[in-house]
Each structure stands twice: as structure tokens, then as C-alpha cells.
A and B are shown apart, each in its own frame.
Chain A
Amino acid sequence: MNKVTRIEGRAVPVEGNDIDTDRIIPARYLKEITFTNMGKYPFYDERFDAEGKPKGHPFDLPPYQGASILFVNQNFGCGSSREHAPQSLLRWGIRAIIGESFAEIFAGNCTMLGIPTATVGQAEMQRLQGLAKENPGTPFVVDLEKKALLSGGKEHLKFEIHESKRNALVNGTWDSTGLLLANAGKTAEVARKLPYVNGFQPQG
């Protein structure tokens, strides 16, 4: 599997706290039974008016086309567990998300797709979003080994990322089925010992 160690590219800022997954992808798009088209839908209702004309959301502004890093604020991805949210961002082109904080289910879903969710402080994020707004062409590198965001070849700032998520990404084990399946024997053993699985039989 792919090791995720460095993500290079321009950054797109999406400002606001508590941006929930209904806002990232409205529920009506969850009726599709594959993720194939999800790249068309991120932030749909915030991007388009009733006639389908763009309203000037960063995801539609020319300088951010092709951006691969997303800058967000607090509690990004709260609400519904729908994986359609990170799927839509990934398929739009996002490969890494830097924010002040993330809702837990959302961050877990991102890791399962190989998208790092890294955190920085509030002042740092304001600076980063400002930079991406004033100078959208700024190239960034998300370096998971150094836990640093680089720009212009220089270390811009350090970020935090949950160590187990970082390990999974840099070691290429974020698609976890293989790891879990390798323990099938141990899994069966745990199951046998659980009273509600073994029909509340006494343990020998």
C-alpha cells in the first residue's frame, strides 16, 4: 500500500468553526450507491445557487483549482459519520487537511482514505488561511515525517497529528483490513472468551 509521507501543493482555505458533514456533502448525494461521483459535490449548497451558478466559494475560484491541501478551523467534519464527506474532498483533489481541530469520526474516516488530518493553533491557522487567501499560489509541503508544514523549501511551522494516524500513513498501513485480518486467530480467541458470544458459558 502507498506510504503517505509528503503532500505537496497549493492550499485552499475554507473558514469557519463547526463545519459539519451535512455542509461538506448534503444528504441527497448519499443516495448514490458508489463513491464514484462524490468529487462533484463537496460544499455543494454553499457553492451553487438554485440555478447551479457558482457563488464564489473557494472551491470554485480559479486560483484554488488543483489545490491539494485544505486549511480549516475548529471541529471540522462534525456531525454525521458519512464517509462521503472525506470521499468528496479526496475526489475533488484534497490530499491533506490542516485544521485547528477535527471531529473524531471524520478524522478516522480521513485516515482510512490516506488523508492526514493535522492540527495547528488558532493564531497559526489564521496566518495560514491569510497566506492562502493573499497569495493563493504559495506552494506548501505537508511533511509527515518532520511533522512540519514547509513553504518555499523552508519549515513554516510544526503541526500535531495523532501518532497512530501518522504511523499508519507513513508506514502505508492506513488501509487496515490486512492488519486486522492477520489477527484472525486471536480474534476468534477473544470472541470465544466473551460471555455474550459464547452463550454465557463458564470459562475453563
Chain B
Amino acid sequence: MAKGTLYNKVWDAHVVDQLPTGQTQLFIGLHLIHEVTSPQAFDMVAEKGLKVAYPNRTFATVDHIVPTKSQARPFQDHEAEQMMGAIEKNVKKFGIPFFDFKSGNQGIVHIIGPEMGLTQPGMTIACGDSHTSTHGAFGTLAFGIGTTQVRDVLATQCLGLDALKVRRVNVNGKLKPGVTAKDVTLTIIQKLGVKGGIGYAYEYGGSVFDAMTMEERMTVCNMAIEGGARAGYVNPDQTTFDYLKGRKYAPTADKWDKAVAYWKSVASDKDAVYDDVVDFNGGDIEPVVTWGITPDQSVGVNDRLPEIGRFPADEVKTVELAYRHMDLKPGAPIKGTPIDVAFIGSCTNGRLSDLREAAKVARGRKVAKTVRAFVVPGSQQVKAAAEKEGLDRIFTEAGFEWRAAGCSMCLAMNPDKLSGREISASSSNRNFIGRQGSKDGRTMLMSPAMVAAAAIEGKVADVRELMK
């Protein structure tokens, strides 16, 4: 059993009771909601004749279904319009703060929480979305939940949960130029597998994480769930505090020092005990590209696709399905694989620093004629900041479309979709069959800079060759 970790401390501070089932009743400090997984939950609360217990601890936005071209109302898709109407009605009825288009703060739920300083160290955070693990970058215990659990949080501000084990994931050394946080998280998933994290929270640490910005830490924690870990986190440090200072919901001057003291107190002790420890050398990590249908099916950009014989017997069926679906061949290089679509955005890589990295590659170059390329900022704030420094012009001059904030083609619940057998280079988080809106569509995950490189070359490329 882990002891003295941030996980233990934050968990213990939020325990309300032991339930007769054996689960723990945990207080949820911050609840984030969006339009897709909340309408049924509000209906259930109303059906039970209950109220929202702590309306000032829930915050709402819209991201999954919003179109990124024209956001004029009513939306052309009547189901999307109906869903939008439902959240507007519910936040009004239950008195919940709502970051809509007019607020200037709308965006992907996991981007706006940190951006507005809502996400703070030492919190428990829940949201009806699996990528809630993103918020762990701030030293929070943050996890995705289903709609019936959203109902519980609305009605009680609590969840019944089973404790997790804690695995320390160390990445030491130094990343090579052109290697990003996305490559770190994809490498961890490649080595530990998509099931490796079941039952665990991942504590990410080591010199590579110490050196990362908050946005980079968010990229890694975002994909903890893709490795099976429901939660992932980084201990809070000066980088965390500097990021939070001055943000809209961050503690103000008179409370700042006390807040920092609390935040420091929740970090894992030096002699903390973990259920498991794994070590990576940051210097070994290459730019990574996925070739299959699960996020652990990936290779370094200069590697060849693995032979089927290399996999354990019980993985062979999935691997064969992956090769069939992707129409790729074992032994072939991944570099040079032609792409049809390039997508830069999502809660994994839709923040300002991601767009800057991609813009460095796009600047002064042209998207290949065979490629449909678009950039979707993760929030209205990211969009405004990017426009202020001219990133939008760099992208549009290169032939990328510049869109409005939303989840876009990460999950294609909006007009942004693959069609037919199109293959995308995507900065998002899932390469599942059908994920990007076409059941035959194909996805290769990579860093935003690598997506930009693929867009320019028309095929998977090593971004480092464009940086020379």
C-alpha cells in the first residue's frame, strides 16, 4: 500500500465516510460538466426531487458538439442545438456558472479549468469525461466518471470510490530536441500498455517532469487514462504556483501564501512508499507515431512497424485487426505513410504552446495539396492569445484552416470528421476504430509539431528534419 504520496494525502483529506459497501465516500472539490454527459444527470436529479448540493463547486462549458466553423445559433445539426439548449436550461435552473460562447472563456473543459485557475493543487476533481486526468498536472486527484456518477456529484458533491494503488513513473535525463511531452506520454503507454494502469494512479516524476511547463505536464496527464490509469498526476512545485498566480479563480493576494503552503503540503513526501515504480530514460525517447487502433500500438518515427510474431499470443488478434484496419504492413517504415487529413487541437494538444510548436514548423511552408489541414484552438482564450501573436496568419498562409474552440475531430461529435477510409495525422488522444467519425477512418497520433510536419510533407515525417 502506498504511503505518504500526494494521492494518499489528497484522498485522506476528502474522506467523508466509509460506506457499507466497502467503498469510500469522497468529497469532490471541483466538478466540471459539459453538454454531452450532463443532461441525463440533471434529469435524474430532478426525477429524485433533489437539488444541486453545492452549485458553486460545479462549472459548465460546451465543447464536444460545438461546430468549429460557424458557431451561429441555432446550430445546423438539430441534435446539437437540442443538446446546447439542454445545458443552457439546466445551468439556469440549478444556478451553475456557465462558460458559453459569450463569456470569452468557452473551450474544452480540460483546457478552461486550468486556464481560469479553477484547477488547483490538492483538489479532488471529477468530470463526465475520461480525460479529466489532465487536471492531475496540478497535483490534484482528478478522474473521469459516468453520467449516473455526475448525478451523484450534483446531488451530494460526493462519489463512492474504491482506493487506487500508486505507481511512480520516473522519467529522468533530458529530452532530445524535437521530442515533446506527447512523445513522453505515448512512450510510457507503449511500454506499460493500455491495460498496464488498471487499478493504479500514476505519479509522474523525475527531471524531465521537473523541467516541463504546466502545459506539457497536462499533455502527459491527459493520456494517463489511455494507459489504463484513471488518474495521473505531477507533484506541485514552483512551476505550478507560477502558472496559477493571477488567474481568474486563483487565490488572491491575501490568501496566496496560505494557499501555497497548503499546495506544498500535499506533495508526496521524500520517503513516500509506492506500490510500484518504473523508470524511463528521457534521452531514449524519440518522436512517436501510432500505427494501430490502441494508443500503445506505436513506434518511433524512424522505426519499422513491428512483426506480428513479436507480440504475445493473446495480443495477436488485436494486432491483426489493427493492421487490417489501418492497411499497414508489418516491417514497413511508418515514415512516408501518406496522410489525407491533419488535425491539430484537442484537450491533449490544443493549448497555446502546442500551437506555437506547430506554427514553427508551418511558418513559411505550404500544406501538401493532397492534405486537408486544420487547427482548432482548445479555448476561446487560446484562440485570442494565438491570434494576438499572429499564429493564425502563419497557419492560414501555410494552408491550414483556422477554427473556433471545441473538441472537433478528436471524437467527431460535430461536423469535423474523417470520411470513408481517410487517414489522419492527429494531435489528439485516441486512434480507436471509428473514433474520428468514419467507421473506416484511420488515425495516427503524434505531437502537434509532427502533425504540422506531416501536413507539409503530405506523409508522416520526422519533424527534426524540418527544424534543421
Interface residues of chain A, those whose CB is within 8 Å of chain B, are 15-18, 20, 22-23, 26-28, 30-35, 45, 73-75, 78-83, 86, 101-105, 108-109, 112-113, 122, 162-165, 167-168, 171, 173, 175-177, 179-181, 183-184, 186-187, 190-191, 193-197, 199-200, 202
**CA–CA, A173 to B19, complex, Å?**
10
In the complex, the chain B residue whose C-beta lies closest to that of A15 is: B317
Residues A200 and B16 in contact, CB atoms below 8 Å apart: no
Residues A177 and B39 in contact, CB atoms below 8 Å apart: no
Among B15, B65, B144, chain A packs the most CB atoms within 10 A around the CB of B144
Q: B314 contacts the other chain (Cβ, under 8 Å)?
A: yes
Residues B155 and A168 in contact, CB atoms below 8 Å apart: no
Interface residues of B in 121-149 (CB under 8 A from A): 122-123, 128-130, 132, 143-149
Among B17, B83, B156, B228, chain A packs the most CB atoms within 10 A around the CB of B156
Query: Can you name 16 extra interface pairs (CB under 8 A) apart from A30-B64, A33-B82, A180-B25?
Result: A22-B432, A27-B413, A27-B437, A31-B83, A33-B39, A103-B228, A104-B230, A108-B145, A109-B149, A162-B162, A176-B19, A183-B158, A184-B156, A190-B27, A194-B13, A196-B120
**CA–CA, A38 to B142, complex, Å?**
28
Q: Which residues of B contact A191 (CB under 8 A)?
A: 27, 54, 157
Q: Which residues of A contact B262 (CB under 8 A)?
A: 195-196, 200
**CA–CA, A163 to B22, complex, Å?**
7
Q: Would you give the shortest CB distance from B310 to chain A, in whole angstroms?
A: 16
In the complex, the chain A residue whose C-beta lies closest to that of B127 is: A81
Give B153-179 as 1s and 0s: 1 = Cβ < 8 Å from A's Cβ atoms. 001111110100000000000000000
Residues A194 and B27 in contact, CB atoms below 8 Å apart: yes
Q: Would you give the shortest CB distance from B202 to chain A, in whole angstroms?
A: 13
A-B contact pairs, 24 of them (CB 8 A): A17-B318, A28-B413, A31-B77, A33-B40, A34-B40, A74-B195, A79-B130, A79-B225, A80-B130, A81-B144, A105-B146, A108-B146, A171-B20, A171-B21, A173-B21, A183-B16, A183-B25, A184-B156, A186-B16, A190-B14, A190-B15, A196-B122, A196-B123, A200-B262
**CA–CA, A179 to B22, complex, Å?**
12
Residues B228 and A112 in contact, CB atoms below 8 Å apart: no
Interface residues of chain B, those whose CB is within 8 Å of chain A, are 13-17, 19-23, 25, 27, 29, 36-37, 39-40, 43, 48, 50, 53-54, 57, 64-65, 77, 79-80, 82-83, 86, 120, 122-123, 128-130, 132, 143-149, 151-152, 155-160, 162, 194-195, 198-199, 225-226, 228, 230, 251, 255, 258-259, 262, 293-294, 314-315, 317-318, 321, 411-413, 430, 432-435, 437, 439
Residues A109 and B148 in contact, CB atoms below 8 Å apart: yes
Q: Which residues of B contact A193 (CB under 8 A)?
A: 13
3 smallest CB-CB distances across A and B, nearest first, come from A83-B146, A109-B146, A164-B22
Residues A33 and B146 in contact, CB atoms below 8 Å apart: no
Q: Would you give the shortest CB distance from A76 to chain B, in whole angstroms?
A: 10
Q: Which residues of B contact A74 (CB under 8 A)?
A: 195, 314
Q: Which residues of A contact B122 (CB under 8 A)?
A: 195-196
Q: Which residues of A contact B22 (CB under 8 A)?
A: 163-164, 167
Residues A79 and B120 in contact, CB atoms below 8 Å apart: no
Q: Would you give the shortest CB distance from A125 to chain B, in whole angstroms?
A: 10
A177-B195 contact, Cβ under 8 Å, with A33-B82, A108-B146: no
Among A15, A82, A173, chain B packs the most CB atoms within 10 A around the CB of A82
Q: Which residues of B contact A113 (CB under 8 A)?
A: 148
Residues A184 and B148 in contact, CB atoms below 8 Å apart: no
In the complex, the chain A residue whose C-beta lies closest to that of B27 is: A190
**CA–CA, A107 to B180, complex, Å?**
33
Q: Which residues of B contact A109 (CB under 8 A)?
A: 146-149
Residues A105 and B230 in contact, CB atoms below 8 Å apart: yes
Residues A164 and B23 in contact, CB atoms below 8 Å apart: yes
Which of B123, B195, B430 has a CB less than 8 Å from the CB of A101? B195
**CA–CA, A122 to B285, complex, Å?**
33
Q: Would you give the shortest CB distance from B39 to chain A, in whole angstroms?
A: 4
In the complex, the chain B residue whose C-beta lies closest to that of A168 is: B21
Q: Would you give the shortest CB distance from B201 to chain A, in whole angstroms?
A: 11
Q: Would you give the shortest CB distance from A71 to chain B, in whole angstroms?
A: 15
**CA–CA, A23 to B237, complex, Å?**
39
Which of B29, B39, B146, B159 has a CB less than 8 Å from the CB of A197? B29
Q: Which residues of B contact A122 (CB under 8 A)?
A: 314
**CA–CA, A15 to B314, complex, Å?**
11
**CA–CA, A168 to B149, complex, Å?**
15
In the complex, the chain A residue whose C-beta lies closest to that of B319 is: A17
A200-B129 contact, Cβ under 8 Å, with A31-B80, A168-B23: no
Q: Would you give the shortest CB distance from A122 to chain B, in whole angstroms?
A: 6
A200-B258 contact, Cβ under 8 Å, with A78-B194, A80-B130, A171-B21: yes
